């Protein structure tokens, strides 16, 4: 391992960071994280913080999950790689597919297609949706609908259904045939509607309108996060996702749940779809499936789709998609151990309780600090604070002020994530009540620093 001086001197000099301007990374070198234990991380200077980012929404069980580490080490010893392309499989992935089928049974999802991460899962689900319609003879159903503010990774298909200009503009033209409807985002929306239930209905009407405009028989799927995450943690009214399900059913459109961050307990329910009482046609998973320790993902597929593919006799159901690392045995072994720990610890229950504590703490902070324009949460361990320089005009906070809050919060012992004007909290699901309280106190110090 190179020494501390080497690391600081070379930080951001020889690599480009995802989601960052290279010049900004050079001017403001990133924090160098060198250790992690429990729910805490440690930087190169020895400064320890609670990781209220949870890695990147993925380290749900914290950094010391020994069963997952042991499973990875043992699998590396036994069989470090073999593919699952036609004609071969491996023992770990077979066991995992059995476990996932049981875990996702209440969502009506009974088959897995394995991937190397979230963007891959989204891409596969979009491709399978078109193929499903083609097998059934509805070749014209090729378009996709999604939500503004949604995040579905950065592959070109996923970026095309993404609802945030930051991930689109520099990469256009994107895939044709993708259309977006307004998000149920009460703080800012084109309807100027702040009542969550009314807004949900308006967004559903916009969906109906877009379907009528495009022609239902041209649309393959609607993809949505059950709770929008990277777009700023936007929980919809409980009527929204069931409403989407009903509209999709009525028009023969598949519903893809992008559960890359919401699957495995983060919302307080085992999946985001279950949280809203909805059964999607496909569900994209990744991240916490291995606790972030190995790049891995799975698209879970419903019986409705399974039946069409598995009974096809024309050859059109042959799957022309797959990754070298689909069903990687080390990832599968990590996921088996991770799923067992996730269920043994009932992390969904802790997420619900700790999430309520943090959300209550954020409400107190909002009463105290005028810079907090809007707080969102109340559904497990995913919360956001939207920061403004003026409460009436809702002008988003400037970058230097946000950076000051971030640094002061970090100095006070908590790593948070700044995304545009939002502070996003997505800590491990195993945090204690003390950790939850420490996260809120550190944020309080962060806001005091700009007074």
Binding mask 351-370 for ligand PLP (x = CB under 6 A): --------------------
The answer to the question of residue 152 lying near ligand PLP (CB under 6 A) is: yes
Single out the residue of 103, 151, 264, 359 in contact with ligand PLP (rule: CB under 6 A).
151
How big is the CA angle at 15 (ends 14 and 20), to the nearest 5 degrees? Answer: 135
The answer to the question of residue 323 lying near ligand PLP (CB under 6 A) is: no
Single out the residue of 183, 230, 254, 412 in contact with ligand PLP (rule: CB under 6 A).
230
Which helix (H) or strand (E) segment holds residue 399: the answer is helix 399-411
Query: Segment near ligand PLP (CB under 6 A), from 9-17, 146-154, 203-211, 331-339?
Result: 146-154
Distance, CA of 261 to CA of 409 (rounded, Å):
24
Which helix (H) or strand (E) segment holds residue 221: the answer is strand 219-224
Name, in order, each residue with C-beta under 8 angstroms of 252's C-beta and a sequence gap of 6 or more.
138, 141, 216, 217
Query: Segment near ligand PLP (CB under 6 A), from 84-92, 111-119, 339-347, 369-377?
Result: 111-119
Which residues on adjacent β-strands are paired with residue 258? 284
Q: Which is nearer to ligand PLP, 170 or 311 (CB)?
A: 170
CB 142 within 8 A of CB 216: no
Q: Which is nearer to ligand PLP, 161 or 305 (CB)?
A: 161
Which helix (H) or strand (E) segment holds residue 428: the answer is none
What is the Cα 379 distance to its own chain's centre? 14
Q: How far is CA 321 from each of CA 7, 178, 315, 346, rounded to the nearest angstrom?
A: 40, 21, 14, 34
CB 319 within 8 A of CB 292: no
CB 108 within 8 A of CB 288: no
Three-class DSSP category at 415: strand
Single out the residue of 84, 97, 119, 273 in contact with ligand PLP (rule: CB under 6 A).
119
The answer to the question of residue 225 lying near ligand PLP (CB under 6 A) is: yes
Q: Is 413 exposed, middle or buried (0-12, 13-18, 19+ CB in 10 A)?
A: middle
Q: Which is nearer to ligand PLP, 325 or 447 (CB)?
A: 325
The answer to the question of residue 55 lying near ligand PLP (CB under 6 A) is: no
Pairing mode of beta strands 282-285, 254-258 = parallel
Q: Which is nearer to ligand PLP, 181 or 230 (CB)?
A: 230
The answer to the question of residue 163 lying near ligand PLP (CB under 6 A) is: no
From the CB of 119, what's the least distance to ligand PLP, in Å? Answer: 3
Three-class DSSP category at 179: strand
The answer to the question of residue 384 lying near ligand PLP (CB under 6 A) is: no
Residue nearest to ligand PLP (CB): 118
Binding mask 255-284 for ligand PLP (x = CB under 6 A): ---x-xx-----------------------
Query: Segment near ligand PLP (CB under 6 A), from 114-122, 208-216, 268-276, 400-408?
Result: 114-122
Distance, CA of 60 to CA of 340 (rounded, Å):
13
Which residues on adjacent β-strands are paired with residue 228? 234
From the CB of 262, what's the least distance to ligand PLP, in Å? Answer: 8
Query: Segment near ligand PLP (CB under 6 A), from 127-135, 150-158, 209-217, 241-249?
Result: 150-158
CB 264 within 8 A of CB 340: no
Pairing mode of beta strands 422-425, 417-419 = antiparallel
The answer to the question of residue 12 lying near ligand PLP (CB under 6 A) is: no
Query: Segment near ligand PLP (CB under 6 A), from 174-182, 242-250, 253-261, 440-448?
Result: 253-261
For ligand PLP, how many residues bind (rule: CB under 6 A)?
14
Interface with ligand PLP (CB under 6 A)? 117-119, 122, 151-153, 225, 229-230, 258, 260-261, 286
């Amino acid at each position: 391992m190179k020494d501390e001086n080497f690391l600081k001197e070379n930080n951001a000099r020889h690599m480009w960071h995802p989601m960052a301007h290279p010049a900004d990374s050079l001017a403001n070198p990133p924090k160098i994280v060198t250790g992690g234990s429990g729910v805490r991380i440690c930087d190169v200077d020895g400064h320890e913080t609670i990781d209220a980012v949870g890695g990147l929404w993925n380290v749900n069980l914290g950094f010391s999950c020994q069963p997952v580490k042991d499973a990875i080490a043992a699998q590396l010893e036994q069989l470090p790689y073999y593919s699952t392309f036609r004609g071969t499989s491996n023992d770990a992935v077979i066991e995992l597919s059995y476990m996932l089928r049981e875990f996702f049974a209440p969502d009506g999802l009974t088959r897995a297609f394995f991937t190397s991460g979230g963007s891959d899962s989204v891409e596969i689900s979009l491709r399978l949706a078109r193929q499903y319609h083609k097998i059934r003879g509805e070749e014209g159903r090729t378009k996709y609908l999604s939500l503004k503010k949604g995040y579905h990774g950065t592959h070109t298909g996923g970026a095309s259904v993404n609802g945030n200009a930051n991930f689109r503009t520099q990469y256009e033209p994107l895939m044709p045939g993708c259309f977006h409807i307004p998000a149920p985002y009460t703080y800012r929306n084109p309807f100027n509607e702040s009542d969550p239930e009314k807004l949900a209905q308006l967004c559903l009407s916009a969906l109906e309108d877009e379907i009528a405009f495009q022609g239902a028989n041209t649309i393959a799927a609607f993809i949505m996060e059950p709770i929008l995450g990277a777009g700023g943690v936007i929980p919809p009214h409980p009527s929204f996702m069931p409403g989407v399900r009903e509209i999709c059913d009525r028009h023969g459109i598949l519903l893809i749940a992008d559960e890359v961050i919401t699957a495995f307990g983060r919302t307080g329910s085992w999946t985001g779809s279950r949280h809203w009482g909805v059964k999607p046609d496909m569900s994209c998973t990744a991240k916490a499936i291995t606790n972030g320790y190995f790049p891995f993902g799975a698209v879970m597929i419903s019986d409705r789709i399974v039946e069409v593919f598995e009974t096809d006799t024309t050859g059109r159901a042959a799957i022309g998609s797959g990754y070298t690392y689909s069903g990687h045995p080390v990832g599968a072994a990590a996921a088996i151990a991770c799923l067992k720990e996730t269920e043994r610890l009932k992390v969904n229950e802790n997420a619900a309780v700790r999430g309520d504590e943090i959300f209550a703490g954020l409400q107190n902070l909002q009463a105290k600090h005028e810079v907090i324009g809007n707080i969102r949460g109340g559904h497990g361990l995913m919360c956001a604070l939207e920061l403004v320089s003026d409460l009436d005009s809702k002008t988003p906070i400037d970058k230097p002020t946000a950076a000051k809050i971030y640094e002061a919060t970090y100095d006070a012992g908590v790593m948070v994530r700044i995304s545009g004007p939002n502070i996003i909290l997505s800590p491990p699901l195993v945090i204690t009540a003390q950790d939850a309280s420490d996260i809120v106190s550190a944020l309080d110090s962060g806001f005091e620093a700009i007074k």
